[in-house]
Structure 1
Amino acid sequence: MEDLEYVVEQHEEDLKKYRNSSVLVSGATGFVGKMLVKTFLLGNRKKNLGIHVIAAIRDQKKAEREFNLLLKEADLELYVGDITEPIDYKGNVDYIFHTASVTTSKTMIEKPVETLNISCEGTKNILELARKKQTKGIVYLSSMEVYGTPDPLLERVTEKELGYVDLTSARSCYPEGKRLCECLCAAYSSEYKLPVRIARLAQTFGAGVSGEDNRVYAQFARSAIHGEDIVLHTAGTSEGNYCYIRDVVAALLLLGTCGSDGEAYNVVNEESHMQIREMAMLVADQVAQGRIKTRIEIPETDCGYAPSVKMHLSGEKLRKLGWKPQIGMRETYERMIADMIAE
């Protein structure tokens, strides 16, 4: 709630641009999606913005658990459907935030066809909806994984410098799917003049992460909470790029109405760049105050982790629009852990 209130108060001018509009958020029960939905709804309560939020979801029971009493309010509407099917929404849609995507490596490895289908067909259906509704702004959530393995000699990786992706690997269904979706966004922008911007998110986490999340940052946090050593299943040399959820939400609100159509923007806190093992040591030494240690135990079977890369993303392009991340890595963990404990 602190994060939501901060965004509403400190980014009020960005939120006001959505006043009296209809905003559709796909993947609305996912981490980023639900934070966007709750930010708009809190903006209505605090600033009387009159925003109608359409939460596009697949699992109605999950949405009912996530939004609970908010579903009784007139400014929140559920649209239940499979995003791989055409979206048959009858009302107006002024803005779209397309956050729906497969996000777990295990699923990418086990179901690469379905992962690609959700990504590509889902994005095409969203763009078709935007075209038919003459939507004023669309933000597509892409990923830093589109960069693949970039040139290791680059000091900073900008939006123009894509690297190598191994097309024979099933795990590549995710980054290559994101690349294709970005191409679709650019194509719709060019041919149909759709005002779509692409947000290439760094690893995003913080308060609000689901207790069921099994990605590395959540595992590190649970290790700190339970006083258990952090066990790495790789050498931990891959360089990570990160951003706190509150800063990401602020960036997405900005991109909904600002930026160049058809273009991509890195959403990253450059100060939080570090290797996986460095992050593990930060959690063990600073967040857990030395009560736990970091160990490396590499399994023989493929766990579906993304390839190890040396990459330091540049956030300069987005910062030129006026965005500035606020929360560093240690505070990210402290806020996330406090939220996990409170649950």
Structure 2
Amino acid sequence: MNLYKSDLYMSDLDLIIEHTDVLKDMKGTSVLIVGARGMVCSAIADLLFRYNEKEDAGIHIYLAGRDDKALLERFSKYAESEYCTAVEFDSSKKGSLIDKLPDNISYIIDGIGPSAPSDIGAHPIDSLYYNMGLLRELLEYADANKTISTLYISSSEVYGISQKGGPFKEDDYGYIDILNPRSSYSCGKRSCETLCACYAFDRKIKTVIARPGHVYGPTARPGDDHIAAQFAIDAAHGGELKMKSQGLQRRSYCYMLDCASAILTILLRGNSADSYNISNPESVLTLRSMMSYIASAGGVRLSIAANDISQDSSAALALDNTMHGSSLNAGKISDNPMPDSSLDSDKLLALGWRGLFDARQGADHTIRIIRQAGD
């Protein structure tokens, strides 16, 4: 799939650029994007490349990932640009990335790490430890090279399960069962956030934390097993969508280009050692409602399963069952345990950010772009 073949994708990039005024402050700087082929980070890279193309901004973009050929293929339109450098590294080896970087990169965005439900469920040890070592290396680099700002992409799962429910403000923390292997993801994210705060305090460097909700869009990688990504591909190809639950979980959805502009806003305007939810107030809805928008955009049927206790009720059971020592029996280990993960976005809105795509429009653009981009 070549997103650059889609006129709609390019026009969406242009629209975001028009409304993201922090981009002008990045002219002539450099940015390291770690995990550059991921749904969110690839959208950030495309946004910066497109801004360079339109404004001759001179932003040097370092794309870090496990396969430099795959990186250059994904960003084929800009691969030959003097402002594009692909950096291949092995995340299991210390120094594999840092030793290949030039001095004095202006900004760092760390968005790498397991996030697919199947990966978290199958490899909880990797989910817990994967980010910590690399993040520390990046923070050490930022300290040594006077990096202006380092942003860590965390997750709304750091909030855990709250009896009062969402929307969560940045200082609302609920219950996480630390003995459930599924908690490796949320606990790992919490640990990385604390590491950022420690470096901000001890080394006096600027670190900021973004907490996206549920991000969707055409930049999802092939094989992404998040339901929104799977259903978008299926709907774009005319397949019927079959939900395995009632889909009553309430979530904050965000179109990936809105998320990209939010991350750049936090990177430049956020306060050090602070966290910011990423949520479009116009896109807080149930899983079922979001999937219905995707089905409608694709012109396909959405079937809803009879209530499945392992899906809709697993989070509610988790809070009760963990108090009685039976947390591993509540749903599948890969399930997100939060019945309501909606986010309060007041802090982000105060930085001047606004989402441009509500859920219905975002779903429509996702399907149309996938179809225009081809297989």
TM tier relative to shorter chain: over 0.9
Instruction: Name the counterpart of 2:118.
Output: 106
Instruction: Indicate which of 38, 42, 66 corresponds to 2:74.
Output: 66
* Alpha-carbon distance in 2 for matches of 1:99, 1:218: 18
The equivalences for 1:121-200 within 5 A come to 121-152=133-164, 156-200=167-211
Instruction: Provide the TM-score with structure 1 as the length reference.
Output: 0.92
Aligned residue pair count? 339
Q: Which has the higher contact order (CA 8 A, sep 6+)?
A: 2
Question: Deviation string for 1:53-81 (max 9, x for gaps)?
Answer: 11111112311221225222111112211
- State the one-letter code of the partner of 1:59: D
Deviation at 1:227, TM superposition (A): 4.1
Instruction: Name the counterpart of 1:6.
Output: 15
Q: In percent, how many aligned pairs have the same letter?
A: 28
Instruction: Report the aligned-residue RMSD.
Output: 2.0
On the 8 A contact 2:44/2:257 being kept in 1, the answer is no
Instruction: Name the counterpart of 2:316.
Output: none
- State the one-letter code of the partner of 1:9: E
* Alpha-carbon distance in 2 for matches of 1:131, 1:34: 26
Deviation at 1:316, TM superposition (A): 0.3
* Alpha-carbon distance in 2 for matches of 1:288, 1:52: 37
* Alpha-carbon distance in 2 for matches of 1:96, 1:254: 13
* Alpha-carbon distance in 2 for matches of 1:222, 1:252: 25
Q: Please tell me whether residue 341 in structure 1 is matched to residue 371 in structure 2.
A: yes
On the 8 A contact 1:83/1:125 being kept in 2, the answer is no
* Alpha-carbon distance in 1 for matches of 2:292, 2:131: 34
Point out where structure 2 has 5 or more consecutive residues left out of the alignment: 1-9, 311-330
- State the one-letter code of the partner of 1:55: L
Q: Please tell me whether residue 97 in structure 1 is matched to residue 106 in structure 2.
A: no
On the 8 A contact 2:33/2:111 being kept in 1, the answer is yes
On the 8 A contact 2:217/2:255 being kept in 1, the answer is yes
Question: Deviation string for 1:291-324 (max 9, x for gaps)?
Answer: 5132216598836121142243100011011111
- Following TM superposition, where does structure 1 have runs of at least 4 consecutive aligned residues deviating by more than 4 angstroms? 297-301
Q: Please tell me whether residue 262 in structure 1 is matched to residue 273 in structure 2.
A: yes
- State the one-letter code of the partner of 2:115: T
More deviation, 115-124/273-282: 273-282
Q: CA 1:167 to 1:80, structure 2 compared with 1: closer, same or farther past 3 Å?
A: same
On the 8 A contact 1:227/1:292 being kept in 2, the answer is no
Question: Deviation string for 1:130-151 (max 9, x for gaps)?
Answer: 1111100111111111111123
Q: Please tell me whether residue 287 in structure 1 is matched to residue 319 in structure 2.
A: no
On the 8 A contact 2:246/2:304 being kept in 1, the answer is no
Q: What SS class does the counterpart of residue 14 from structure 1 fall into?
A: helix
- State the one-letter code of the partner of 1:205: Y
On the 8 A contact 2:294/2:364 being kept in 1, the answer is no
Deviation at 1:92, TM superposition (A): 2.2
* Alpha-carbon distance in 1 for matches of 2:302, 2:75: 37
Deviation at 1:223, TM superposition (A): 4.0
More deviation, 321-330/301-310: 301-310
Instruction: Name the counterpart of 2:322.
Output: none
Q: What SS class does the counterpart of residue 63 from structure 2 fall into?
A: strand
